[in-house]
Amino acid sequence: MTSFTMPAVAAVSGWLGLSACVALSCATASAQEKPAEAIELAPHRAVYELVLDRTGAGSNISDIRGQLTYDFTGSACQGYTLNTRLVTEIYDREGKQSTTDTRSESVEDGEGRRFRFNTSQYMNKSPKPADATSGLAVRAPQGGRETVTVTLYKPKKGSFTLPGNIYFPTQHSIAILKAAKAGDTRLQADFFDGSDKGTKIYETTTVIGAPLQLAANAQLPTIKNAEILDSIQSWPVVVSYYEQNGKKDGLPTYEVSFRIYANGVSRKLTLDYGAFALSGELSAIEFLPSKPCP
């Protein structure tokens, strides 16, 4: 999986952590950088099983179960398409259960200049979406600098310009892998994925750990086709998401941690929303055909 939101799915695809720059090799991302040719993301279809990891004191949540389906295709020359579906069942302490089904599709060009997004959310197995968002974000020169303009089609039509150094999801994933391969341990970027009605920007801080030994892959559950990952370098990553002008206590809105492989696949997920956290593990993966760039 590449960058992740749900906000965190696709968000999901898509990373982390807060840590001082002291004793760290710090890297700050530039949205104007072109995707590194050395970063080749593997087209793949993956399924992750999610379970409740913990709840905070006083929480009314007794259990959460979920499944995330992640379908990623494309290349730097063709552009990238990401389809995700996240289904969660939430149980409260009174025994009541609710189901949320979030389906997202996005298309991003290889240079991070255009990003089309479409998300629908269904509640309690209703055939009609309770919420839908769609739009197009375009990066272009304006007034001597590059800006990102968003055109919204749903839920309300409108157009606005995003402030800051904006990263789209796949562009952000590539930047994280580029930093990891360079030995950098910290990356900061403003992140936009069209979530929250297409209007929200997250300030992100990503902390990248030391590369994991290949022998560590032997400790993971055995899954068909996942043996391809056994010989691929990976890093532990934590991405913290902060709302602009958000919490005054300095805490992130949510954090996503995972192991990311050099080809963009992820395992060992944790989605921490403060009041509760989910953990997830890869349960199925299929690597899809790809065409190399000329």
> 101-136 as b/e, with b when 16 or more CB fall inside 10 Å?
bbbbbbbbbbebbbbbbbbbebeeeeeebeebbbbb
Judge whether 16 and 206 are in contact, CB under 8 Å.
yes
Q: pLDDT (tens digit, 9 = 90+) per residue, 227-262?
A: 999 999 999 999 999 988 766 667 899 999 999 999
pLDDT tens column, 47-61: 999 999 999 888 889
Q: Average pLDDT, stretch 249-278?
A: 93
**Structure letter (DSSP) for residue 4:** B
Q: What per-residue confidence (pLDDT) applies to 38? A: 65
pLDDT at 79 > cutoff 90:
yes
CA torsion 253→50→74→108, rounded to 10°?
Answer: -20
pTM: 0.84
What are the distances in angstroms from CA 196 to CA 8, 80, 116, 119, 199? 11, 22, 15, 10, 6
CA 108 – CA 87 distance, rounded (Å): 24
Lowest mean pLDDT segment, chosen from 39-43, 219-223, 281-285 = 219-223
pLDDT attached to residue 26: 31
- Report residue 6 CA to chain centroid gap: 8
Q: Which residues pair with 277 in a beta bridge?
A: 54, 272
Q: Whole-number mean pLDDT of the chain? A: 85
The answer to whether residue 35 scores a pLDDT higher than 60 is no
**Residue 64 pLDDT > 70, yes or no?**
yes
**Residues 6+ positions from 219 with CB-CB distance below 8 Å:** none
pLDDT at residue 76 greater than cutoff 70 = yes
> Which DSSP symbol is given to 171?
H
**Range of lowest pLDDT (25-34, 234-243, 260-269):** 25-34
SS3 173: helix
Mean pLDDT of all residues in 19-37:
35
> 186 or 142, which is more confident?
186
Give the per-residue pLDDT at 142: 80
